[in-house]
A = this chain, B = another copy of it.
Amino acid sequence: MKIGIIGATGYGGAELVRILNHHPYTDNCILYSSSDEGKAYDASYPHLRNIAQQSLQPLHIETICNEIDVMFIAAPPGVSGEWSPKLAEAGIPVIDLSGDLRIQNPAVYEKWYKRQAAPEETIQNAVYGLAELQKEEIQNAKLIANPGCFPTAVLLGLAPLAKNKLLQDSFLIVDAKTGVSGAGRKASMGTHYSELNDNFKIYKVNEHQHTPEIEQQLAAWQPGTGPITFSAHLAPMTRGIMATMYTDAPPGMSSAQLREFYSEFYKDSYFVRIRPEGEFPATKEVYGSNFCDISVTVDERTNRVTIVSVIDNLMKGAAGQAVQNLNIMNGWQEETGLMMTPVYP
């Protein structure tokens, strides 16, 4: 299968290249770029010397059809809104890693993203690609809205409760921490080394654009779920997300029962690992892999539950899940090309 990538010069794109380089059913990717057309890709990413020797290709809708079978879009906001319809018309399935097609309600999108929403028809055609939980929809999709990094960690952590209507309506707090690579490769004061090293920051308090994505999916699973409290924090590390989630425990459920319930819920999901009693995951333990590791525990003093979920934001939170969706769309085994062991330490 021939794969195209729009936006290959970003970190999400580079991670797609790293994965697809060893995928047994795909050829070398074609990497598109309007701005850097003709440039050698490994000049941008010297770690790919002798590995990815493609040069960046111009993006012409006429030729694309003959060149590729599936397109990944790993570009800044706005690009998928423009290209998804064109590619749909050309019959090319699309997996979109941007946030443009995830929010069903354009008004909600515009409030949180502070920019115009994609065409409504495009949004309606997009299937939300949370791989473990939307397998059937994904199998039949031509257009996938690949979930955001924070929503992936959060929703995998909450799905066993929400899908069983066990979320309590009192409060739901999500305290999320991310490595800096989630901000992409574009240089800015906010990603400047000296400003972040040995430093811990909080940002977008109650204002992060991933909030409505989480709320939309929770409400789809358990109608009536109210707004969440969401804070994003920046940790001095490159990769990794930890979401620490707090809510009231489902009545009558002990720590052991809840952990068993989570294990049962994910028993067929290779990439979700529920940790044993007393063990909590660290971000490095999924580094470079497609795993999502989860711990749950109920505090008997307060009857509140603490759920901890970790992923590699560039893998399960972006490129890894995108390839998982490619596998599902094509009827291949979900783990194909994604079995890499976490790199530790």
The residues of A with any CB-CB pair to B shorter than 8 Å are: 11, 14, 18, 21-22, 45-51, 170-171, 173, 175, 177, 179-181, 183, 185, 187-189, 191-203, 205-206, 226-229, 231, 233, 235-240, 242, 244, 246, 248, 270, 273, 275, 279-289, 293, 295, 297, 299, 301-302, 304, 306, 308, 310, 339-345
CB distance from A36 to the nearest CB of B (A): 14
Residue of B nearest to A230 (CB): B299
25 contacts between A and B (CB under 8 A): A18-B344, A22-B341, A46-B281, A47-B285, A47-B286, A47-B289, A48-B342, A49-B275, A51-B341, A185-B192, A193-B197, A195-B345, A197-B198, A197-B238, A199-B237, A199-B240, A201-B282, A202-B244, A202-B308, A226-B302, A229-B246, A229-B304, A229-B306, A340-B340, A343-B343
B46 pairs with A279, CB closer than 8 A: yes
How many copies of this chain are found per oligomer? 4
Contact flag A18-B341 (CB < 8 Å), given A50-B273, A191-B187, A192-B187: yes
CB distance from A114 to the nearest CB of B (A): 15
A193 pairs with B238, CB closer than 8 A: yes
Contact flag A202-B242 (CB < 8 Å), given A188-B187, A285-B46: yes
Contact flag A206-B299 (CB < 8 Å), given A22-B339, A47-B344, A198-B197: yes
A240 pairs with B200, CB closer than 8 A: yes
Instruction: Give the most central of A194, A285, A289: most B CB within 10 Å.
Output: A194
